[in-house]
Structure 1
Amino acid sequence: MASVPLPVLPKPTPAPAPAPVEQPTPDDLGLDGLLDGLDRLFDEPAEDAQEDPEDHGMSNLLDSLDDLF
């Protein structure tokens, strides 16, 4: 029985060095955008908010379905 030679594999190239990571300054921890977004969440009522205590959201759902058809 004859042996089958294995293919020659190329030498792996070294991986590039990772990009340096910027360290946040003590004044900016990246939370400014998050906090601004949270502020806007509570500034105005949601589009589908209850109009009265008896409203369980079904009227808005039915209106939306009527608009579709």
Structure 2
Amino acid sequence: MIKRKNKEKYLIDIWKTIKYTLIKAGVKEENIFISNIDTYKNTDLLFSYRKEKNTGRMAAIIGLIDKE
């Protein structure tokens, strides 16, 4: 998940890190969906500071559905 790029920088696989964290928190792996949407390549869908170099706003809503 984390590997050293050079003496001063590290690379983090954010997708694997989040999945690992969710599983450790008790979420079943079959309930985890990874979209693999790259914000840098898909600025028509999502904001990317790395590409656009200006600030923007983003919001997400996550909820649990009780099936009982």
Report the structure number with the largest CA radius of gyration.
1
Give TM class, smaller chain: under 0.3
From the two aligned structures, give the one with the greater strand fraction: 2
TM-score (norm 2): 0.20
